[in-house]
């Protein structure tokens, strides 16, 4: 039977289930990627599973997020991660080596492989013809312990790319166009499978830009074929043996289709404060800007860095009213800009070079001034993510960022009157990676895991009682990102290994009384709108509410990763409609009188008692998810399974 490229990759790894949209499947994972901000929890969860060594062929521990060492916390975490990697058999990528997704693309991604990562932008590897997706730390731990990964098989969307991008229009505009059309929730439980004659016009780093931000439409996967361009990329990386062609069969099946004429696109920009708030650049041209940031996991390949440098150098330097930062995605990209003079161009033009890391994208330094627009080549612009509460972050291509840095106001690069430069990447340096390979098992067994004083084990979910009752703690609008439960920025992110400490920041932006209220009322319920928990994979967004006694979240819809993080941590995700949402108010007493029995019996509805009035609410729990909730979360479920009935 004819197959599309996602079906081909998954089938090679399939353990159980059928590849039908909405069906549960389990499949084998070849690679696991961890980063530092989510990795400490993942390793502590792995330790609870009591394995001596990771059970997947390749686990990679990157240090790329929490790079600012204000005090002992981040360096202690890095040390912990390095010792965990050595103790349990993971490759350790040292700080300074680069952003996980870029380094993985350069050194480890290979067509036909499967990858999961404790970072939502793990989808980036789809650029290499991989089935790659972001998951929570606990799911990563479980995969590392040797369990196959289970997933609801997504709806398959064929994205037909036609023609070729015009000068000054870039891959970033392709994904911004998708966000414009689909919105941040249009892609939930969907896989975007790229096809069409436009595919061959895009090099692997351009494909990576699209796959990175495919998560922003809520998608499970984005995946490109592995073709001649993939082969060229792998040859340049001196990994030609890793190439394996991946093409769809004639007549391959898809449930939906989306056509994008690359030649019809123009420079686009996402206005504050959601990535789908997309308009043509010309609509906001002339807006005064205080800051331009180039880099992040979405746009920091050599080509992405060379374009803005060309513009600011040839245009006469960075505008005097504006602060421009540049953070290369990898040590390889840094070497390349150094070798070709791009770095010297930036310095001469007045830009600031930042560390090779995620940097300003997660508010790790370079916070913008209050109330002042910042134009970034990054992937998210949720309020406060930059580190400044009153921020106005715009997302755009390197071309738009360069033009804006030059002019000091948002500028359509086509209006610069410059010829579009023919950027050709030099041969990359492929032997200068700061990777530390794990020792042999015997030696690894002697490695001591170093735990700094801020590293605390995650809270354990309590048993699910027959009935759940509590008060409504907060009522939230649509599209609440995980940055609301576990904020970005230097101060809060340094608490990623300490759930009691990080829970103090939960919903601080929305309601500074949330935490005191949750403590006073001994927990309660959260009520949200649609696409609740969009954005990052950080399981802290579920662990912080768990710490505060939250046992169920009621929402009109959930983002895939966060929904799973809630279940993993024993919190019940409950679907509501307007009848319930519109009546919800802080302080109401809600009761789920038969929750345990309703979960156990497989019912897709729950009974909700709202202050004496009865409502029927829904759930979309699969059989495994029900078992996990009944057991008190994923780890307790796995332990009970191993230990057997007591």
Cis (ω within 30 of 0) for the bond into 273?
yes
Q: Which 8-state DSSP code applies to residue 57? A: S
Question: Judged by CB, which is closer to ligand MIC: 85, or 409?
Answer: 85
Query: In whole angstroms, how close is the CB of 518 to ligand MIC at the nearest point?
Result: 22
Question: Judged by CB, which is closer to ligand MIC: 119, or 276?
Answer: 119
Question: Judged by CB, which is closer to ligand MIC: 82, or 120?
Answer: 120
Question: Judged by CB, which is closer to ligand MIC: 42, or 518?
Answer: 42
Neighbouring-strand partners of residue 134: 117
DSSP per-residue string spanning 559-577: -HHHHHHHHHTTPEEEE--
Question: Judged by CB, which is closer to ligand MIC: 7, or 537?
Answer: 537
What tokens does 280 get? 């043509």
Query: In whole angstroms, how close is the CB of 494 to ligand MIC at the nearest point?
Result: 12
Contact indicator for 69, 109 with CB cutoff of 8 Å: no
Nearest of 155, 179, 31, 170 to residue 103 by alpha carbon:
31
Question: Judged by CB, which is closer to ligand MIC: 258, or 490?
Answer: 490
Cα separation, 202 vs 208, whole angstroms: 10
Cα separation, 564 vs 551, whole angstroms: 14
Nearest of 483, 477, 563 to residue 527 by alpha carbon:
477
Q: Which 8-state DSSP code applies to residue 397? A: -
Query: In whole angstroms, how close is the CB of 118 to ligand MIC at the nearest point?
Result: 7
Question: Judged by CB, which is closer to ligand MIC: 367, or 575?
Answer: 367
Question: Judged by CB, which is closer to ligand MIC: 537, or 547?
Answer: 537
Question: Judged by CB, which is closer to ligand MIC: 360, or 632?
Answer: 360
User: Torsions phi, psi of 171, nearest 5?
Assistant: -55, -30
Contact indicator for 518, 524 with CB cutoff of 8 Å: yes
Classify residue 164 as exposed, middle or buried by CB count within 10 Å of its CB (0-12, 13-18, 19+).
middle
Query: In whole angstroms, how close is the CB of 32 to ligand MIC at the nearest point?
Result: 14
Helix (H) or strand (E) holding 515: helix 514-520
Query: In whole angstroms, how close is the CB of 492 to ligand MIC at the nearest point?
Result: 11
Question: Judged by CB, which is closer to ligand MIC: 158, or 380?
Answer: 380
Tokens 């966000």 locate to 179
DSSP per-residue string spanning 259-308: EEEGGG---EEEPTT-TT-EEEHHHHTT-B-SEEEEESTTS-SHHHHHHH
Nearest of 490, 521, 541, 531 to residue 367 by alpha carbon:
490
DSSP per-residue string spanning 337-392: HHHHTHHHHHHHHTPEE--SSSGGGGTSS-PPPTT-EEEESSS---TTTTS-TT-E
Query: In whole angstroms, how close is the CB of 499 to ligand MIC at the nearest point?
Result: 14
Cα separation, 329 vs 97, whole angstroms: 9
User: Torsions phi, psi of 336, nearest 5?
Assistant: -70, -40
Question: Judged by CB, which is closer to ligand MIC: 360, or 413?
Answer: 360
Question: Judged by CB, which is closer to ligand MIC: 222, or 524?
Answer: 222
Binding site for ligand MIC (CB under 6 A): 37-38, 65, 119-121, 134, 362, 380, 535-538
Query: In whole angstroms, how close is the CB of 52 to ligand MIC at the nearest point?
Result: 27
What tokens does 520 get? 């006073």
Cα separation, 132 vs 109, whole angstroms: 10
Helix (H) or strand (E) holding 46: helix 36-48
Q: What's the farthest any 2 CA atoms get from each other in the chain?
A: 75
Give the burial string for 301-335 (b: 16+ CB within 10 Å, else e): bbbbbbbbbbbbbbbeebbeebbbbbbbbbbbbbb
Cα separation, 336 vs 46, whole angstroms: 37
User: Torsions phi, psi of 416, nearest 5?
Assistant: -75, -25
Pairing of strands 352-353, 24-27: unpaired
Query: In whole angstroms, how close is the CB of 511 to ligand MIC at the nearest point?
Result: 21
Query: In whole angstroms, how close is the CB of 334 to ligand MIC at the nearest point?
Result: 20
Query: In whole angstroms, how close is the CB of 169 to ligand MIC at the nearest point?
Result: 25
Question: Judged by CB, which is closer to ligand MIC: 113, or 116?
Answer: 116
Query: In whole angstroms, how close is the CB of 80 to ligand MIC at the nearest point?
Result: 15
Query: In whole angstroms, how close is the CB of 288 to ligand MIC at the nearest point?
Result: 27
Question: Judged by CB, which is closer to ligand MIC: 77, or 530?
Answer: 77
Query: In whole angstroms, how close is the CB of 264 to ligand MIC at the nearest point?
Result: 30
Residue 412 CA neighbour count, 13 Å, CB half: 14
Torsion angle in degrees (nearest 10) through CA of 425, 124, 5, 560: -170
Query: In whole angstroms, how close is the CB of 121 to ligand MIC at the nearest point?
Result: 5
Question: Judged by CB, which is closer to ligand MIC: 38, or 531?
Answer: 38
Question: Judged by CB, which is closer to ligand MIC: 376, or 538?
Answer: 538
Query: In whole angstroms, how close is the CB of 407 to ligand MIC at the nearest point?
Result: 28
Query: In whole angstroms, how close is the CB of 33 to ligand MIC at the nearest point?
Result: 11
Nearest of 581, 570, 584, 566 to residue 618 by alpha carbon:
581
């Amino acid at each position: 039977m004819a197959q599309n490229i996602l079906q081909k990759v998954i089938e090679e790894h399939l353990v159980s289930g059928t590849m039908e949209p909405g069906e549960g499947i389990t499949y084998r994972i070849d690679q696991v990627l961890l980063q530092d901000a989510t990795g400490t929890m993942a390793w502590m969860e792995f330790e609870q599973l009591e394995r001596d060594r990771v059970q997947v062929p390749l686990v990679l521990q990157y240090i790329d997020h929490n790079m600012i060492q204000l005090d002992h916390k981040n360096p202690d975490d890095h040390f912990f991660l390095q010792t965990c990697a050595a103790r349990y058999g993971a490759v350790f990528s040292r700080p300074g080596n680069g952003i996980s997704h870029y380094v993985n693309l350069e050194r480890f991604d290979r067509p036909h492989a499967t990858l999961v990562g404790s970072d939502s932008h793990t989808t980036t590897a789809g650029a290499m013809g991989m089935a790659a997706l972001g998951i929570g730390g606990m799911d990563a731990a479980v995969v590392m312990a040797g369990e196959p990964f289970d997933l609801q098989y997504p709806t398959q969307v064929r994205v037909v790319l036609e023609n070729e991008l015009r000068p000054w229009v870039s891959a970033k505009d392709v994904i911004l166009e998708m966000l414009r059309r689909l919105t941040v929730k249009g892609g939930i439980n969907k896989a975007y499978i790229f096809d069409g004659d436009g595919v061959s016009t895009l090099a692997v780093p351009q494909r990576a830009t699209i796959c990175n931000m495919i998560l922003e439409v809520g998608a499970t996967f984005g995946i490109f074929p592995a073709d001649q361009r993939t082969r060229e990329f792998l040859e340049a990386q001196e990994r030609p043996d890793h190439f394996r062609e991946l093409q769809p069969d004639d007549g391959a099946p898809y449930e939906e289709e989306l056509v994008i004429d690359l030649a019809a696109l123009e420079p686009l920009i996402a206005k504050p404060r959601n990535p789908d708030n997309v308009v043509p650049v010309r609509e906001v041209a002339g807006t005064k800007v205080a800051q331009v940031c180039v880099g992040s996991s979405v746009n920091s390949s050599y080509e992405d860095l060379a374009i803005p440098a060309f513009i600011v150098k040839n245009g006469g330097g960075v505008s005097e009213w504006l602060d421009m930062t540049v953070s290369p995605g990898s040590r390889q990209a840094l070497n390349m800009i150094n070798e070709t003079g791009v770095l010297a161009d930036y310095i001469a033009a007045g830009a600031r070079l930042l560390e090779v890391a995620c940097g300003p994208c997660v508010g790790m330094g370079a916070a913008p001034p209050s109330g002042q627009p910042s134009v970034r080549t990054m992937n998210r612009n949720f309020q406060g993510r930059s580190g400044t509460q009153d921020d106005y972050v715009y997302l755009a291509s390197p071309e738009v960022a360069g033009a804006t840095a030059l002019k000091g106001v948002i500028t359509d690069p086509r209006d610069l009157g410059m010829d579009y430069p023919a950027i050709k990447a030099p041969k990359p340096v492929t032997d200068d990676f700061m990777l530390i390979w794990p020792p042999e098992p015997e030696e690894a067994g002697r490695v001591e895991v170093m735990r700094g004083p801020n590293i605390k084990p995650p809270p354990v979910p309590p048993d699910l009682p027959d009935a759940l009752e509590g008060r409504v703690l907060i009522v939230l609008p649509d599209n609440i990102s995980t940055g609301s439960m576990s904020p970005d920025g230097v101060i809060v992110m340094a608490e990623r290994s300490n759930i009691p400490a990080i829970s103090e920041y939960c919903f601080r932006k929305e309601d500074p009384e949330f935490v005191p209220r949750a403590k006073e009322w001994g927990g309660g319920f959260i009520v949200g709108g649609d696409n609740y928990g969009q954005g990052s994979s950080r399981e802290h967004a579920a662990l912080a509410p768990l710490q505060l006694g939250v046992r169920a979240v009621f929402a009109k819809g959930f983002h895939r990763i966060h929904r799973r993080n809630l279940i993993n941590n024993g919190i019940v995700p409950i679907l509501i409609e307007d009848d319930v949402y519109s009546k919800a108010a802080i302080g109401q007493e809600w009761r789920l009188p038969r929750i345990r029995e309703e979960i156990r019996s497989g019912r897709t509805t729950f009974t909700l008692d709202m202050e004496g009035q009865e409502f029927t609410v829904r759930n979309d729990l699969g059989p495994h998810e029900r078992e996990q909730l009944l057991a008190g979360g994923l780890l307790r479920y796995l332990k009970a399974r191993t230990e057997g009935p007591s």
